[in-house]
Amino acid sequence: MKHFIKRNKLPCTVIAAIMLVLVFAGCAQRPHEAKLSMPDSVYMKAGSEITAKTFDSLRNSLLKAINEKGIEEAITFCNLNAALLTQSYADTFFIKRTALHYRNTNNQPDSLELSVLEDMTTEMQMKEMLPGSRIVRDREAIHYFKPIIMQGMCLSCHGKRGEQISATTAAQINRLYPSDKAVNFREGDLRGMWHIIFKKTAL
């Protein structure tokens, strides 16, 4: 009897080993499933690095365009460049900007974005401090949100019409974005937010 049990232990161990290999092989084919179990801090770090890099390149390109071609030309450039930026990462994750008061109607917030933007606005009013970044998980994706705060250099295109925004700039904005809502901001205001979607199928 003892001998019988011993002889049957081997196939059991082999089966268990094969099952383990299969489980790991499955993970290797679908690494996103393994990765999606990572804690929020991983997505916070990735999100923060991606937005910092994107913001830097957007800001530098914008400054260069303003210096070389002037504000009116920079508006056209900013428009094209923003669209290009959102596409360049589309195979791994999707990055976009949105705002309650948006300029490009493509940047209009969806229902999830709207609730996060409203939360950030309330947080800023209640605590009188900058709202933090956050992660929201749903069935399809992991969402990273980071507030975008108005700086001095943004005023010439998002400040007060007739004061910081010149008449010619206002006319150019109006021509490209007839239903523009992204004006009358002050330095330090919540301008909008970054939204990175880490898609389950893409990771």
List residues binding ligand HEC (CB under 6 A). 59, 62, 66, 71, 74-75, 78-79, 82, 97, 99, 102-104, 107, 148, 150-151, 153-154, 156-158, 182, 191-192
DSSP class per residue in 12-67: HHHHHHHHHHHHHHHHHH-HHHHHTTS-HHHHHHHHHHHHHHHHHHHHHHHHHHHH
- How far CA 78 is from CA of 22, 55, 143, in Å, comes to 49, 12, 25
Task: Please say which residue, 40 or 81, places its beta carbon nearer to ligand HEC.
Answer: 81
Q: Smallest distance, Å, CB 81 to ligand HEC?
A: 8
Q: Smallest distance, Å, CB 168 to ligand HEC?
A: 12
The answer to whether 166 and 196 have CB atoms below 8 angstroms apart is no
The answer to whether 105 and 6 have CB atoms below 8 angstroms apart is no
Q: Hey, is 186 helix, strand or coil?
A: coil
Q: Smallest distance, Å, CB 199 to ligand HEC?
A: 21
Give the burial class of 150: count Cβ atoms within 10 A of its Cβ; 0-12 exposed, 13-18 middle, 19 or more buried.
middle
Task: Please say which residue, 18 or 114, places its beta carbon nearer to ligand HEC.
Answer: 114
Task: Please say which residue, 42 or 71, places its beta carbon nearer to ligand HEC.
Answer: 71
Task: Please say which residue, 66 or 196, places its beta carbon nearer to ligand HEC.
Answer: 66
Task: Please say which residue, 75 or 141, places its beta carbon nearer to ligand HEC.
Answer: 75
Q: Smallest distance, Å, CB 25 to ligand HEC?
A: 43
Q: Smallest distance, Å, CB 72 to ligand HEC?
A: 8
H or E element in which residue 118 lies: helix 111-127
